[in-house]
Structure 1
Amino acid sequence: MDVIFGNLDLWGTAITNTLLVFAGGGLLALVLGIIVGGMRVSPVPIARGVGTLYVNIVRNTPLTLVFFFFVFGYSALGFANKVEPIVLGILAIGIYTATYVAEVLRAGINTVPVGQAEAARAIGLPFGQVMSLVVLPQAFRSVVPPMMSVFIALLKNTTVAAGFSVAELAAMRATINDAAGRPGNPMEVLLWVALVFVVLVLLMSLVQNRLEKKWRIAR
């Protein structure tokens, strides 16, 4: 247990940064994913084209390259000292994950009977209100399991940020090794990091089960 109690300050920082990247990236992915998902089913051809282009380009690009673009590309523009690495990490992982959120939502939107959207349009609702008031509430209920899978993947993808100067859980092994007099060996650190991620994923699974039960009753 020395690897924990002898490095509580480092563990606190690492867990906090991991949760910040996860929460910030998740919020950005959800907002952007809803917008892009709406564009993917929009009746406007230009909107559909832009949404499709965004999803196909970003989703087929490795996450590491997306991080490289934000961290090193942003530095090349002269903003290296103005934005913290954790903010760039949130932007990178959020924009990347938004493509998966958009595709999950698009699948959920396709499960909503077409007649409901047509009825909403028949009473004069514009496309934005049809989506926000009629289609999306039903789509969210049908995509809880795949959406939670996307966010579990996002949580695990936060480890990529460790390679770009973000002091999160995946960086603990190198941080403890580089710090003089810190207890713990690399294998112990990695096992504890894995355990923390297992606990976080189990908590997210509990949230998923609660949402499924709640919205199943609401139907």
Structure 2
Amino acid sequence: MAGSKILIVEDDPNLLSTLGYNLRREGYDVVTAADGADALDSARREKPDLIILDVMLPTLSGFEVCRILRRDMTVPIMMLTAKTEETDKVVGLEIGADDYMTKPFSMRELLARTRAMLRRSRMAGPEPAAGKTLKINDLEIDLARHRARLRGATLELTPKEFDLLAFLAGHRGFVFTREQLLEKVWGYDFAGDTRTVDVHVRWLRQKIEPDPHRPRYLVTIRGTGYKLEG
């Protein structure tokens, strides 16, 4: 959304300049940082609406920056990585990143994802309307406070894990494909990487299921997608 503030954290000056130029052309207010320590200072001082965060940075890695920011900020984070190993992508999503892109990437796709992430973050909350507490057996999801509890204990969820859980809980028993979840939870109206959904499902199961290998709540419907039961 034009006028939103975006923090770009990238130590490659050419890529930093290119990203800044294209995002400013879209009408965004752009703030930049070239290392991990500066990224933390800029994020806390500028309070951006979105952070585009490179993994390989001086002083602190993008992973460390993301982990520290997630202690007290819910700002959407898109990670950039030059590596193609699945483990890097999984680590980024596990510590709280909302999405990732692998270099080299299409500027058109980055701009599309940026619009989708900002649009989603501006919404009051995932469907259904906020203000309710959804209860599924021992699981309670407080949409107004953006908080979930299991058997009375507060769950430590990343913002996107909460969004996914709340959406599925609000549509309990309905099956959604990965593509539908990318659209409904991530806000993408284009073909995104469905592995993002799978990783978030995997880590969400680690937090809500008694036995993540035999899920009772978040169930896979083979050949189709996922649904929440209970």
Normalized against structure 1, the TM-score is what?
A: 0.26
Structure with more contact order per residue of length (Cα contacts < 8 Å, sep ≥ 6)? 1
Q: Which has the higher strand share?
A: 2
Larger Rg: 1
